[in-house]
Amino acid sequence: MRILDFLILISSLSFLAYGISYFISPYMKSEFIRFGLGRLGILIAILEIIGAIGLLVGLWINSILLISSGGLALLMFMGVIVRLKVKDSLWVSIPALVFMVLNSYIFIASLNLNPD
């Protein structure tokens, strides 16, 4: 297994778990309210789940990998901005930052792969 495939699996499973947790965890819903994003929580969770599935499909279809990793990197960039806006500590902001960097790396690496 290539390292890129391993990173894609880690990101995909993480976003799948995080997206699904919005629908089963009251804490997740309360966090979105704290961020001022209560009305967008469902949309963001669905985008995370779609992005996670897209990363998995992207293991075979590079254009889907580009779209999914780019979208998730952008979503996490916005997550970092929201964390700064609500003045969260660096410690609790690290996951958003790490997943932004991880999906940015996947996006850049997938630019160099053979087209579909």
- At 113 the pLDDT is 79
Q: Which helix (H) or strand (E) holds 99?
A: helix 90-111
Angle, vertex CA 109, rays to CA 103 and CA 114, nearest 5: 130
- At 112 the pLDDT is 86
What is the Cα–Cα distance from 108 to 97, expressed in whole angstroms? 16
In contact, 57 and 63? CB cutoff 8 Å: no
Domain ranges of the chain: 3-111
**Whole-prediction pTM value?**
0.92
What is the Cα–Cα distance from 35 to 82, expressed in whole angstroms? 7
pLDDT tens digit at each of 116 positions of the chain: 699 999 999 999 999 999 999 999 999 999 999 999 999 999 999 999 999 999 999 999 999 999 999 999 999 999 999 999 999 998 999 999 999 999 999 999 999 876 65
Determine the 3-state secondary structure of 40 from DSSP.
helix
What is the Cα–Cα distance from 99 to 94, expressed in whole angstroms? 9
